Amino acid sequence: MNAMQNDILATINEKKAIPPEDLDRVAAERLKLLDDPGIPRPPFARLLDHIDHAVKIAGIDHVGIGSDLDMIPTPEGMNDVSDMPKITTGLLERGYKEADIRKILGGNFLRVLRQATGR
């Protein structure tokens, strides 16, 4: 990664207190930075590798992913939430069972939410 790419990523990841009325403006600025072709996008397989690693470390019942793909460099082939089915396909190709994929794509979150709220 070159110095310009490091500067862009540092700007995107800078932690600062943002007043609520400025959140939309700051989000738009970050998205504009992410459109810069100088920011490398990891290969899609890297996303699946991370899921594999989390499952190995924490177990299938403790892994989940979100669809908040804004303000981060997304993997190649993942441009927005409409590309989420690619994760399902990738996990199926890696041998995950449908029931386990359901857990990763939201089932685990729903289970924990129900436990936390008593519903």
| In a shared domain, residues 69 and 33 | no
| In a shared domain, residues 35 and 46 | no
Q: What is the pLDDT of residues 11-59, one digit of tens each?
A: 656 666 777 787 777 777 766 766 666 667 789 999 999 999 999 999 9
Per the prediction, the chain carries an average pLDDT of 83
Which residues span the domain enclosing 8? Answer: 1-40
| In a shared domain, residues 23 and 55 | no
Torsion of CA 99, 103, 107, 109, to 10 degrees: 170
| In a shared domain, residues 84 and 103 | yes
| In a shared domain, residues 61 and 32 | no
Q: Give the separation between CA 3 and CA 70, rounded to whole angstroms.
A: 23
pTM of the predicted protein model: 0.68
CA angle 57, 63, 66 (to 5 degrees): 140
Nearest in space to 105 (alpha carbons), one of 88, 80, 81, 86: 88
Q: Give the separation between CA 44 and CA 90, rounded to whole angstroms.
A: 9
Which comes out higher in pLDDT, residue 10 or 117? 117
| In a shared domain, residues 11 and 51 | no
Split into its structural domains, the chain has a count of 2
